[in-house]
Amino acid sequence: MKMHGLGNDFVVVDARACDLNITATMVKGIGDRHFGVGFDQLAVINNGNGDAHLTFYNADGSVSAACGNATRCIARYLMNESGADHLHLTTDRGDLVAKDAGNGLTAINMGQPQLQWDEIPLAHEMDTLELPIDGAPTATGMGNPHCTFFVPDVAAIDLAQFGPTIEHHPLFPMRTNVQIAQIVGPDHIRMRVWERGVGITWASGSSSCATGVAAARRGLTGRDVRIDLDGGTLHVSWREDGVWMTGPTMHVFSGTLTPDFLMGLT
């Protein structure tokens, strides 16, 4: 299935009825936007202890423990399938709760943020609120690492040049997602995203959660914020039970990968 959340697009494979051997070569082949289908992340639905277990891959074939927008898309698909209005999903990040937020919106509790240097992880002990990098960004873990820069104007940053330099910064041994964020108001942020292993994306759920947490920690906003991304708007709420993210999803089409195509990926 092809799905997207605010233009952050995914190929989703429902493997609950079969065993799949997903390889990095296969992920990269399907993810190629000219020779394959194209996606920011590939997600696989498997049976699990909850309603389903989700596994995520970046476009470069690497594994990611979390993908907020893909989780919302899959949650909507599973709720439509079962008629349930809430789900218990498991991921490498941990257990996540999803619910129908009404008006076609889907909400996910992404769990508590990881704020300690060794949880994110960083290369050595330091204050995660202001890193020793030009611009003094904030580091946050949401099951994957994030580095958030607060800037006066996101349009003034060449993200295509800036993003990869931070993704591969030596302070981040597992690389990092990069956000540039502009505070519009006490409950309003404009943000752009460079995702590790992918590049510039129109939106990112886990990045939105990380930015909402970072802005609240720095006293720039409250804990409930609207985040405007290139592809649309998400709402992030950092509560006692975790970071909730709410927004729209879209199931674009369902299809079949041909044997000829798959044979070329082995």
Please report, for the chain, the start and end positions of each structural domain, with discontinuous segments joined by +: 2-110+249-263, 138-242
| Amino acid 48: pLDDT | 86
Low-confidence ranges of the chain (pLDDT < 70): none
CATH topology for 2-110+249-263 is Diaminopimelate Epimerase; Chain A, domain 1 (3.10.310)
Q: Specify the pTM.
A: 0.93
Query: Which tens digits make up the pLDDT trace of 161-199?
Result: 999 999 999 999 999 999 999 999 999 999 999 999 999
| Amino acid 93: pLDDT | 86
Taking CA atoms, 137 is separated from 50, 129, 217, 264, in Å, by 36, 7, 12, 43
Q: Minimal CA–CA distance to 59: which of 8, 95, 18? A: 8
- What is the CATH class of 138-242? alpha beta
| Amino acid 87: pLDDT | 96
| Amino acid 20: pLDDT | 86
Q: Which amino acid, one-letter code, is at 183?
A: I
**What residues contact residue 81 under an 8 Å CB cut-off, 6+ apart?**
none
Same fold yes or no, 2-110+249-263 and 138-242: yes
